[in-house]
Amino acid sequence: MARHYFGTDGIRGRVGQPPISPDFVLLLGQAAGRVFLRQSKTGKACVLIGKDTRVSGYMLEAALQAGFSSAGVDVVLCGPIPTPAVAYLTRALRLDAGVVISASHNPYHDNGIKFFSAEGRKLPDEMEEDIEAEMLKGFSCVESHHLGKARRLDDAAGRYVEFCKSVFPSDLDLKGMKLYLDCANGAAYHVAPAVFHELGAEVVLEGINPDGFNINDGVGATHTDDLLERVAKAGADLGLSFDGDADRLIMADNQGNLFNGDALLYVIACDRIFQRNKKTGVVGTLMTNFALEKNFARKGIEFARAKVGDRYVMELLRSKGWLYGGESSGHIIALDRQTTGDGIVSALQVLTAMCAQKKTLAELTQDLKLMPQVLINRPIEKGFDYKADADFTAEIEAVQKELGDRGRVLIRPSGTEPLLRIMVEADDEKLARTCAERIAGALKA
């Protein structure tokens, strides 16, 4: 069956509107609980629930907990914690599943639900289909003596801090380094400062005062237009910017350079393959800058593209048996360190390369010249088929023909928002912008 509610990164939407409403989430928790119980070898199941800092998290957490309990599933509550922390703790505590209440980089009025398996990986499509099939059966509470119980894991953040520190080599430290941390008023607000401070860095903090409404509000990995200025004002060596649930990372240095996920993936992969003799290829997405692919080819590193979405990067990594992958947006996966994209862990892998090789981030990326990419988002209604717009598709074909081998066009509906993403990549930024605006202008209102 086709998935109706699950997108590329769980279920997401506007709070109070289906499917992000208490009644839906209650039923979702119960349906997921029945699926997890079926897969349990003991006939019992326990799930872990974490959330970001949105005000709606209180409401959805209560509904989700009630749903699991009504299915006979025990619950461990972590409170605000990064998405990758849920993946780690689910695996470390040998639980049956982990659930995150978060809409990642979206504004506070959105929220979402995403699941992790017992191994700390995003659920496969088939399991999400099973959950939706269970939802169609409606609500059915177990008898009282079978109800699930709930407890709170008070040291969840501390456990995750220690895990993050463990992925940084014990013979290295960050002493003498000044880092500017932008935690997006999100789930990393109380975790990231501790990790980098305890490894020896001096930290300057931004976005660590969440109030339920200011998550991703002008800060975080999707608001980096002034990150260079903020890093300079702080007198920092490097700036690290995370998104609301801390699975994305964008970095900046004090030399005026901004480093997106492509550049950071390049640093990590090259360090692992050439400095630490890891035999592996690298996975990007359709959005990955073409310069990355060309540089890997010159270095003899295999490279493959997946559909946009970290779950698809993960699927391709696993099918090929490779270790490193990521997206331009800052989702980076290092399977020898973590089972999912992790902003803090990714930052520590970049810092490992810098410290071990005694080079700046600019020096580590000096041979990588990214091609300019221009991305324009256009709001669309759910189910909109842009391929049926003859004028729009004709303009796409005309632009691609004019670009020739100087660039490429990528059009795709967002998997998490009601947007059509129009991306043009070219060897000249002005050309890329002009082409992107032409295509966007041809789209019917």
**DSSP secondary structure string, 108-120?**
TTEEEEEEEETTS
Structure tokens at 326: 């990521």
Q: Is 228 exposed, middle or buried (0-12, 13-18, 19+ CB in 10 A)?
A: middle
What is the C-alpha separation between 295 and 265, in angstroms, rounded?
12
The active-site residue out of 69, 104, 117, 329 is 104
- Strands 202-206, 178-182: parallel, antiparallel or unpaired by DSSP? parallel
Answer yes or no: 69 catalytic: no
Strand ranges, E, within 10-164: 11-14, 46-51, 74-80, 97-101, 110-117, 150-152
Cα first-last separation, the chain? 32
Give the number of C-alpha atoms closer than 13 A to the C-alpha of residue 384, restricted to the C-beta side: 20
Strand, helix or coil for residue 365: coil
What is the C-alpha separation between 310 and 330, in angstroms, rounded?
10
Torsion of CA 23, 28, 31, 34, to 10 degrees: -110
What is the C-alpha separation between 312 and 342, in angstroms, rounded?
16
Q: How many helices (H) and strands (E) does the chain have?
A: 14, 18
Helices 156-166 and 83-92 pack at an angle, to 10 degrees, of 90
What is the C-alpha separation between 283 and 260, in angstroms, rounded?
16
Q: What's the DSSP call for residue 331? A: B
The residues that are catalytic are 104
